[in-house]
Structure 1
């Protein structure tokens, strides 16, 4: 099952899973990361473009909770569903992506 998390609720989700070392997985393309990226946060962040995920799946630990992020939430939802099918037990989608993050949580992040 894939949870839907609003950007402002991510801190609570991360805290609830802190003992399992949660990960935020940004699945956007490198050019998108150059336009808008998350600032330093109290969580681990990994960037693997959606198109590279299958080839790089071994880089991810299925025992760790993973919250997926993209531009608006569609790609990250597809990745979250894929990870759940691959045996990742705790997977979430950050609803609205980095665009919602910028609008609702951190207006210092550029919108594109």
Structure 2
């Protein structure tokens, strides 16, 4: 089962990690341009969902990865795919960037 992280609980999740996490944004480039997360105590990687299978080598297997999309559906599928590929510390940001804007950072535009 994939761990679900609410944006309201993001800072707590970050603090609980033993290694620097990766936030994997799986939205399309136009979506990232419309609304994006600012990197902080994590590394931000943007790879559209359909490119993930060919680009998993860009993702570290020894660090936590939290997947993000618009509402949480695509990122959940990517998190499940990564878990099937042997990634052991994968989470989904429940509600996606829309919830991120409502619960964590109102400066992020909603679309």
Is the TM-score greater than 0.5? yes
Aligned residues: 111
Partner of 1:10: 10
- Structure 1 runs not aligned, ≥5 long: none
TM-score (norm 2): 0.95
Shift of 1:42: 2.2
CA-to-aligned-CA distance 1:56-109 (integer Å, 9 cap, x gap): 111111121100000000000000000111111111000000000001111111
TM-score (norm 1): 0.94
Shift of 1:11: 1.4
Partner of 2:46: 47
Once residues 94 and 22 of structure 2 are traced to their aligned partners in structure 1, the CA distance between those partners, rounded to angstroms, is 16
Once structures 1 and 2 are overlaid, which stretch shifts more, 8-17 or 78-87? Answer: 8-17
Q: What secondary structure is seen at the aligned counterpart in 2 of 1:20?
A: coil
- Structure 2 runs not aligned, ≥5 long: none
Residues 10-89 of structure 1 correspond to what in structure 2 (within 5 A)? 10-17=10-17, 19-89=18-88
Q: Is the 2:67–2:93 contact (alpha carbons within 8 Å) kept by the matching residues of 1?
A: yes
- RMSD of Structure 2 on Structure 1 (CA): 1.0
Once structures 1 and 2 are overlaid, which stretch shifts more, 36-45 or 86-95? Answer: 36-45
Distance change in 2, residues 1:40/1:90 (3 Å): closer
Q: Give the 4+ runs in structure 1 shifted more than 3 A.
A: none
Distance change in 2, residues 1:40/1:85 (3 Å): closer
